[in-house]
Amino acid sequence: MRLNNRVAIITGAGAGIGKAIALRYACEGAKVVVAEINVETGQATADEIHVLKGEGVFVRTDVAEESDVRNLVETALRHYGRVDILVNNAGV
């Protein structure tokens, strides 16, 4: 697995390209932090990662809100201790 034990934050990971990246990274061994403004789709992506036997966590995030982004990073650090990859996929 090419991304084994890497920690990736992926914004806009609830659908489309962001979701595809999140699932692929999980399949490649990354621990994925699913950042998504839509709670339903974000949690669904995290659930799908778990079904694939991957590791991930969902964080409701509006990337236009500094406090949300701060919480996103703090949550990633609390869960995994570091961030190795950041995919800025969400559009504003």
Q: What is the pLDDT of residues 8-26, one digit of tens each?
A: 999 999 999 999 999 999 9
Q: 7-87 architecture in CATH?
A: 3-Layer(aba) Sandwich (3.40)
83: three-class secondary structure by DSSP:
coil
Report if pTM > 0.75.
yes
Cβ-count burial of 37 within 10 angstroms (0-12 exposed, 13-18 middle, 19+ buried)?
Answer: middle
Q: Given a cut of 90, is residue 91 above it in pLDDT?
A: no
39: three-class secondary structure by DSSP:
helix
Pull the structure tokens for residue 26: 């999980």
Cα 92 to Cα 83: distance, rounded to the nearest angstrom? 22
Mean per-residue pLDDT for 22-46? Answer: 98
Mean per-residue pLDDT for 34-52? Answer: 98
Q: Given a cut of 80, is residue 92 above it in pLDDT?
A: no
